[in-house]
Amino acid sequence: MFDKIDNLSSQTRILIAVLLALAFFVPYSYFYKPQMNENNATQATTREMQNVAPIQQVDSGKITQDTARVSNPNHATLATIESKNFTYKIDRLGRIAEVALKEKKYQKDSTPLMLFSEDIANPSNPKILEIRFSDSLLNQKAFNVPYSANLNTLEIKDKPQSITLIQELGEVKIEKVLTFYPNGYYEAKIKIPQNYTYFVSPGMRPSVENDSYVFKGVIVKESDNTITTIEDGDAQGQSNYANASILAAVDRYYATLIFDKSNNLNVTILSNPSENPMPFVSAEGELQLKGYIGPKDYRLLETIDPNLTDVVEYGIITFFAKPLFLLLDKLYNLCGNWGWAIILLTLIVRVVLYPLTYKGMVSMQKLKDLAPKMKELQQKYKGEPQKLQAHMMELYKKHGANPMGGCLPLLLQMPVFFAIYRVLFNAIELKGAAWLLWINDLSVMDPYFILPILMGGTMYLQQHLTPTAFNDPMQEKIFKFLPLIFTIFFVTFPSGLVLYWFVNNIFSIIQQLLINKALERKKAREIAEHKHKDD
């Protein structure tokens, strides 16, 4: 066993760390499934919810209703809300059925970005501010009778504007007063007779970002600040969360949400046939809601309500990634460019991690110097593993070397690198952010592959500067291909993330050169001292 440990040369340790990094990045990003909170307390619901027909029954009727309403005129637009930054269309069932973002950095092919698309496979999916009743007959009627509006068009400039929607269902009258603000924030006052239990939805998640590397689904923030996430494909049956403060449906960059500072949201999550979560808030009588539709821009959400910044989700490493983003944001405010802010962040991280990196590099240099003596011992005690182990331990002890000393610091740095990866991969602030001449958007891949190639080249150069002492030819061959593997792996990654890795390589090369020179000077002094003693 020990002869295998002996073969953990300096470069082999880097190889292990890099391969572990790959093993950490790819499977985590692809397979990570946020865990649902199964606490019985979060499954509790109000007494009123327990005494009404289950919402699944409503949903069953709703699926049939939706199927029948493919050509229903109630899908037509009742009112249009126009702003400099967005366009909302309210359909004749009183729902915000379409949302288009008009800001240039969010546009797709020079046209406004549509946040939602019709899910033909799941016609029961709710739209924004859709109301469903626990009474199945009333619910069916509500999906057949159109609303009326006091305005057909509403233009929002600097001040909020309101629109009133009314639906007459015989003895039951529904009134929605919706107030829209220029930044995507809205307020909804819903009036329904007290003796009817109903459910209001913030809508399904935006359908813009659909790749498998990001979280897509529903986020619930409960009164004890617990964050519960239900990812697409993971919703099972019905889940209830009493006294929540946020109910959000999100993809990588965008969100539609309802929130309440007083923690008065009684949340119900259903699953559709694809097992994607369908979010609702239950109520009786008058209900006042606050909501938001738009990008998960940290500072924008903070201006609406600091509590909403929890919608920007980084997975299990959020506790560490969030402070890193705030640091990146401060650096952006300092230099005015996200690309240069990433470079400054990289420099700060390198400085903070310098003690660990220095120890690792010194340890690798010591092991490189001991490589000839290690080979002599391996030849001398070939077939005698116990004697080899004893003499190798003595050699390490004599020269103050640690066979794992070069690997451990690298492994300790991995959480930092992964947190930065999560920050740069999820930051919509990089959307449309330019850097230098050819990078017009740090949130997408480099169109000319310049950054990935530079990253691979600097990684190759770093390999040649790092102390090497391979004992296994196969490991050496694999290691030489790592720059190419990383280059291919990073080609499709956001250029902001590749920029970080490239600059990190540059700083590593500079640091390696400085440490190599320091070690050479130290070795020269030691040789001079030995000669002086011999004389």
pLDDT band at 340 (very low <50, low <70, confident <90, very high): very high
179-203 average pLDDT score = 96
CB 78 within 8 A of CB 159: no
Q: Which of 134, 266, 268 is nearest to 195 (CA)?
A: 134
pLDDT at res. 7: 41
Structure tokens at 195: 């003796």
Q: Which of 136, 85, 135 is nearest to 113 (CA)?
A: 85
pLDDT band at 408 (very low <50, low <70, confident <90, very high): low
Largest CA distance in the chain: 111
Element (H, E) at 265: strand 265-271
pLDDT at res. 59: 42
Higher-scoring residue by pLDDT: 449, 519:
449
Alpha carbon 418 to its chain's center: 11
pLDDT at 387 over 80: yes
213-231 average pLDDT score = 92
| pLDDT, tens digit (0-9, with 9 covering 90-100), for 231-289 | 999 999 999 999 999 999 999 999 999 999 898 999 999 999 999 999 999 999 999 99
pLDDT at res. 235: 95
pLDDT at res. 400: 74
Structure tokens at 464: 């040649």
Higher-scoring residue by pLDDT: 221, 17:
221
CATH class of 33-313: mainly beta
Q: Which of 19-23, 98-102, 120-124, 243-247 has the lowest mean pLDDT?
A: 19-23
Q: Which of 204, 244, 201, 255 is nearest to 220 (CA)?
A: 244
Q: Where in the chain is the domain with CATH 2.70.98.90?
A: 33-313
Which residues is 221 bridged to in the sheet? 227, 246
491-511 average pLDDT score = 92
Q: Which of 280, 287, 282, 245 is nearest to 262 (CA)?
A: 245
Give me the percent of the chain exceeding a pLDDT of 70.
Answer: 82
CB 405 within 8 A of CB 371: no
Which amino acid is it at 161?
A: Q
Which residues is 250 bridged to in the sheet? 217, 255
Whole-angstrom Cα distance, residue 202 to residue 265? 12
20-26 average pLDDT score = 51
pLDDT band at 317 (very low <50, low <70, confident <90, very high): confident
Structure tokens at 356: 């660990």
| pLDDT, tens digit (0-9, with 9 covering 90-100), for 35-85 | 333 333 333 333 333 333 444 444 433 333 543 344 456 679 999 999 999
pLDDT at 131 over 70: yes
344-362 average pLDDT score = 86
Which spans in 403-449 are helix H?
Answer: 408-426
Higher-scoring residue by pLDDT: 211, 497:
497
What's the CA angle centered on 209, arms 207 and 212, to 5 degrees? 115
Structure tokens at 414: 């991995």
pLDDT at res. 367: 76
pLDDT at res. 63: 30
pLDDT at res. 481: 86
Which spans in 381-472 are helix H?
Answer: 385-399, 408-426, 450-465
Residue 237 CB partners (closer than 8 Å, separation 6+):
56, 270, 271
pLDDT at 403 over 80: no
| pLDDT, tens digit (0-9, with 9 covering 90-100), for 144-168 | 999 999 999 999 999 999 999 999 9
Q: Which of 339-353, 362-376, 426-440 has the lowest mean pLDDT?
A: 362-376
